[in-house]
A and B are shown apart, each in its own frame.
Chain A
Amino acid sequence: MTNDDAGRRSRPARDAGCFGKGRSVAGVGALGALVVLAAPLVAHADTLVKGRLKGVEALLNPVATEAADPNNHRFTFREPSATVSQQAKILTAFLPKELCVVALGPESKGQGTARVVVSGGRTTPVTIVVNEGQTLQFENHDPFVHRLYDVGGKGGFAVAETAPKAARSWTPPPGAATYELRDERAPSLRTWVVVEPKATRAVTPNAAHACGVVTRRGEFTLSLPEGKFDLRGYFKGAPVGEALPVEVKAGKDKQDLPDPLVVGKAESDTKKGG
């Protein structure tokens, strides 16, 4: 799923407002509109499952965090803006692209091609979970070439040039595994591809991967068939937080989850836990 794909279905909710009280109302309204608009797109058997995330503050952007270390020589000066809050200065991850919420169910074979956009120093999504046998297509939307490869070479994704407006396909080897992809031309680009046989394809056929839609405010939606699933967040190519058991009942267009999906331990929780 690309940013555009996600936005088509979820941006009203994602962009409804974040980090501000005034935007919460608009966000709720937009989420409602999203549900209404998305309903015709999903199969009748699918239920739009909506939930919220907990502990997103613990998810830090790995690239930015690494670049903030002076020992890595990524800048000659780096200073905080005095008028920005300290909380905002924490280099938290951009959830819509970096966090993948997956419903783990019975094993299945993936179908279709998962589209990944390369642009702006990263891919969209950054962490992607696919089924076995699924193909990924990397589309270069930058005005310059990229040279993607998988770190370690275990995925057989060798270094190759992708020209502007060109695309490159890759099918990970069979079996559950995690692959980290990088770009020789853009050091900030780090992508994680997770091959998970139990991942349930959760969204539109265009996306062909298992990641649900996540907003910046920490909300997510998944279109799931009837059945029992374990919801799990994937960040930096690895599952984070705790699994959230979910039972999707038939006959419902949408289902709100009462409990949040924990993707990390917030600092406040850490203090409470001693």
Chain B
Amino acid sequence: MLLSRFWYIALSLVLGASVFMLYIAHGVASRTATRTMGELLTAATNSVEWYLRDHAHQRAAELTDLTFHPDVQAALAAAADADSLAAVKERDKVKSALRAFAEKKGFAIVWAIDVNGRVVGTACTLQVCASYEQAAAQPDFEMGGYALVVDALHGWVRDDTWVFDDQMYRVVARPVEQKVNDQPIGAIVGANHVNDAYVEAIAARVGTAVAFFARGNVAKGVPPDSSAVRSDLEVTTEDLKKLVDNKDYNEKGRTAADTLRLLPKHTVGAVFSRLPGESWDSGAGYAVIYRQLRASSPLDYQGVAEEADKKSVPWLYIALIAIGASLLGLVFSLLEHTRPLARFRRAVHELGKGKSDVLKPGSFRGTYKKIASDINDALDKVAAKSGVERGPADLESVLGPLPAQPQMSAFAVPKGDELPVKERSLPKAPKPVPTPAPAEPGTLPSAGLSPEERDAVARAMAEPAAPPPDAATPTPPPAGAAEGGAKRPLPAPPKRRDSGASAPASTTVGEGPAPAALEAGAEFDEEADWRRVFDEFVALKQKLGEPAEKLTYEKFRGTLQRNKDALIERHAGCKRVEFRVYEKQGKAALKASPVK
């Protein structure tokens, strides 16, 4: 059972370690994902900023075509000296030139502005242009107040962001010059409408969702290859309201990367930035939004995994590990459970069928060995109650629990007054011949024996003493019935079952001349009894496969004698000691029983 237990423990440890590592991995993955999302959002925000600058550069460069347009130059030069723009004849030509340019280059609005800030010509490709063109037609309409225009009229090229009617325009301007090192005669201003198409183009280049917002109006764009639902990446009015109190946004112009909202399987993060230009003070800005996969617990990974993730799993190795572990567990179970159980089942079956008298504990392992021994004891008791002699009784089962004795003190039997010898009506035996002094109590006499023999005898002597299962002596009652045993009529002498061929004579301990002699009241022949015990002991050892070649009777007898002497000396009134051979845990063993 040890292998199985170790295997279960190993499996539990591996499982626990796996769960631990899974949570560690989940924590690392979550932290990494958050940091990665922040870095990505920051990089994307920088990319948007760079795009705005680069795009403005390009658009400003494209205005150069108009600054050199002869009609434009002539009209602006005329306007500079004109009291009223109505006197400028080239205005229609300017308008045509501006319109052609705006349509060709994709500008939403293009203005030609004279040195006084007045609008000489306008071209607008938007649907809302009517209001702008009407305004431009007014004599007071001008654009000289914008810093962008002032800069252009002073020889600067730059960009800006305007917000008109909650619509954002990215604007560039450059001066119109007639002579080198002279004052510009006017400026050309071009505007790009920041609408969904404009933002889509930015999102495609940046790789994340982008939204431009101004006064509640939002222009949004999502990369074309994005698999996200567009609504997940939108900036809501509630999101924009939070910016009012955002310290980073108000002071630094950009928020830190933060979670915008949590979706079932994703985290939506965003960075909000204020839009450079006049829009900086108009509440206009842009947001870069990114959707990151999210697993709230290790169990969520199954749900968020995609096909590619599942394909990357080394299924073969995992299957092999699982199958190997299962097989190993099955083998352990087979070795430690199925096979011993089957063997035990067969032995019990044979016992039940009468093919054997006893179970052979030596043929079993682990708990089965103990169970077999217990069954044997139980059978003995049942047989004893039934008046059938089955073999030597266990001293402990007869006398009750013995006081604790040091191991190997085979003859440290209970004190004389504790022995219920009187109730047992044991036959008397002649006083044995004095023998040499016994060994120290608690030690095993070993003189004259080889180590193996000494070990065998020591093991034998380690067994507690038991009364002899004399055939003429009634089987002693169980421990609990010891006190009343004397008053109760003894059962009829048990008769041993025929062990048959499967029960060798050597294991049918208890047979021999001693019981018969005692029953007949003849003089007890200790020498013959000990020889019989020796023969039985050797036979049992051979049967159990123990080495017995070097065990001689003389050495065996000396050991018995010394131990007998020790017992007699310890227990007053004890006349002799009866030894019995039996099998214990697959090995031959002896039991010594002092007899009064």
| Contact of A25 with B by CB under 8 A | no
Q: Which of A3, A19, A74, A79 contacts B147 (CB 8 A)?
A: A74
A85–B278 touching, CB < 8 Å: no
Q: How many positions in chain B have a CB within 8 Å of any CB in the partner chain? A: 59
Tell me how far the C-beta of A244 lies from the nearest C-beta in chain B, rounded to whole angstroms.
26
Tell me how far the C-beta of A265 lies from the nearest C-beta in chain B, rounded to whole angstroms.
21
B140–A141 touching, CB < 8 Å: yes
A19–B145 touching, CB < 8 Å: no
B182–A141 touching, CB < 8 Å: no
By a CB distance below 8 angstroms, the chain A residues around B150 are 61, 63-64, 91, 94
| Contact of A44 with B by CB under 8 A | no
- Scan A217-258; emit 1 where CB is below 8 A from any B CB, else 0: 000000000000000000000000000000000000000000
| Contact of A57 with B by CB under 8 A | no
- Scan B417-450; emit 1 where CB is below 8 A from any A CB, else 0: 0000000000000000000000000000000000
- Scan B129-162; emit 1 where CB is below 8 A from any A CB, else 0: 0011011001111111111111100111111100
Cα–Cα, bound, A11→B155 (Å): 24
By a CB distance below 8 angstroms, the chain B residues around A212 are none
Cα–Cα, bound, A84→B179 (Å): 8
Query: Chain A, interface size: which category?
Result: 35 or more
Cα–Cα, bound, A90→B157 (Å): 14
Tell me how far the C-beta of A186 lies from the nearest C-beta in chain B, rounded to whole angstroms.
7
Q: Which of A16, A84, A94, A120 contacts B81 (CB 8 A)?
A: A16
B143–A120 touching, CB < 8 Å: yes
Q: Which of B139, B146, B157, B278 contacts A4 (CB 8 A)?
A: B139
By a CB distance below 8 angstroms, the chain B residues around A68 are 147, 151
- Scan B158-189; emit 1 where CB is below 8 A from any A CB, else 0: 11100111000000001101001111100000
- Scan B98-122; emit 1 where CB is below 8 A from any A CB, else 0: 0000000000000000011101000
A143–B132 touching, CB < 8 Å: yes
By a CB distance below 8 angstroms, the chain A residues around B277 are 73-76
| Contact of B558 with A by CB under 8 A | no
Cα–Cα, bound, A121→B171 (Å): 14
Q: A96-B116, A122-B144 are in contact. Are A85 and B274 (CB under 8 A)?
A: no
Q: Which of B80, B84, B282 contacts A187 (CB 8 A)?
A: B282
By beta carbon, the residue of chain A nearest B147 is: A67
| Contact of B205 with A by CB under 8 A | no
A74–B131 touching, CB < 8 Å: no
Within 8 A of B (CB), among A113-171: 117, 119-124, 141-145, 164
A78–B145 touching, CB < 8 Å: no
Cα–Cα, bound, A85→B155 (Å): 8
| Contact of A189 with B by CB under 8 A | yes
| Contact of B332 with A by CB under 8 A | no
- Scan B29-72; emit 1 where CB is below 8 A from any A CB, else 0: 00000000000000000000100110011001000000000000
Cα–Cα, bound, A89→B152 (Å): 9
By a CB distance below 8 angstroms, the chain B residues around A17 are 81
Cα–Cα, bound, A15→B154 (Å): 17
| Contact of B387 with A by CB under 8 A | no
By beta carbon, the residue of chain A nearest B176 is: A81
Tell me how far the C-beta of B129 lies from the nearest C-beta in chain A, rounded to whole angstroms.
9
By a CB distance below 8 angstroms, the chain B residues around A94 are 116-117, 144, 150
A119–B154 touching, CB < 8 Å: no
A83–B177 touching, CB < 8 Å: yes
Tell me how far the C-beta of B185 lies from the nearest C-beta in chain A, rounded to whole angstroms.
10
By a CB distance below 8 angstroms, the chain B residues around A145 are 165
Cα–Cα, bound, A78→B74 (Å): 26
By a CB distance below 8 angstroms, the chain A residues around B83 are 7, 11-12, 15
| Contact of B374 with A by CB under 8 A | no
By a CB distance below 8 angstroms, the chain B residues around A89 are 154-156
B141–A120 touching, CB < 8 Å: yes
| Contact of A270 with B by CB under 8 A | no
B278–A188 touching, CB < 8 Å: yes
Q: Which of A61, A74, A79, A124 contacts B160 (CB 8 A)?
A: A74
B158–A73 touching, CB < 8 Å: no
| Contact of B362 with A by CB under 8 A | no
Q: A76-B52, A80-B157 are in contact. Are A117 and B82 (CB under 8 A)?
A: no
Cα–Cα, bound, A17→B277 (Å): 33
- Scan B75-89; emit 1 where CB is below 8 A from any A CB, else 0: 000001111100000
Cα–Cα, bound, A16→B83 (Å): 9
A63–B135 touching, CB < 8 Å: no
| Contact of B493 with A by CB under 8 A | no
Tell me how far the C-beta of A224 lies from the nearest C-beta in chain B, rounded to whole angstroms.
24
Cα–Cα, bound, A224→B573 (Å): 160
B147–A120 touching, CB < 8 Å: no
A78–B157 touching, CB < 8 Å: yes
Tell me how far the C-beta of B239 lies from the nearest C-beta in chain A, rounded to whole angstroms.
22
By a CB distance below 8 angstroms, the chain A residues around B138 are 119, 141
| Contact of B546 with A by CB under 8 A | no
| Contact of B368 with A by CB under 8 A | no
By a CB distance below 8 angstroms, the chain A residues around B143 are 120-121
By beta carbon, the residue of chain A nearest B133 is: A143
By a CB distance below 8 angstroms, the chain A residues around B135 are 119, 141-143, 164
B164–A144 touching, CB < 8 Å: yes
Q: A11-B83, A77-B53, A78-B156 are in contact. Are A85 and B182 (CB under 8 A)?
A: yes
Q: A94-B117, A120-B142 are in contact. Are A84 and B160 (CB under 8 A)?
A: no
Cα–Cα, bound, A164→B82 (Å): 27
A77–B159 touching, CB < 8 Å: yes
Cα–Cα, bound, A209→B281 (Å): 32
| Contact of B280 with A by CB under 8 A | yes
Tell me how far the C-beta of B213 lies from the nearest C-beta in chain A, rounded to whole angstroms.
16
| Contact of A26 with B by CB under 8 A | yes
Cα–Cα, bound, A73→B254 (Å): 12
By beta carbon, the residue of chain B nearest A184 is: B282
| Contact of A2 with B by CB under 8 A | yes
By a CB distance below 8 angstroms, the chain A residues around B117 are 94, 120
| Contact of A72 with B by CB under 8 A | yes
By a CB distance below 8 angstroms, the chain B residues around A201 are none
| Contact of B414 with A by CB under 8 A | no
A144–B165 touching, CB < 8 Å: yes
Tell me how far the C-beta of B72 lies from the nearest C-beta in chain A, rounded to whole angstroms.
16
| Contact of B207 with A by CB under 8 A | no
Tell me how far the C-beta of A140 lies from the nearest C-beta in chain B, rounded to whole angstroms.
10
A23–B281 touching, CB < 8 Å: no
21 pairs from A and B in contact (CB 8 Å cutoff): A11-B84, A20-B183, A63-B147, A64-B151, A74-B160, A74-B276, A75-B148, A75-B276, A77-B57, A77-B158, A78-B158, A78-B159, A89-B156, A91-B150, A94-B117, A97-B144, A164-B131, A185-B163, A186-B145, A186-B278, A216-B115
Q: Which residues of A contact B (CB under 8 A)?
A: 2-4, 7, 11-12, 15-20, 23, 26, 61, 63-64, 66-68, 72-81, 83-85, 88-92, 94, 96-97, 117, 119-124, 141-145, 164, 185-189, 216
| New A-B pairs, 13, CB < 8 Å, besides A7-B83, A77-B158, A85-B181 | A4-B140, A74-B147, A74-B277, A78-B151, A78-B159, A80-B156, A81-B157, A84-B177, A121-B145, A143-B165, A144-B164, A144-B165, A186-B278
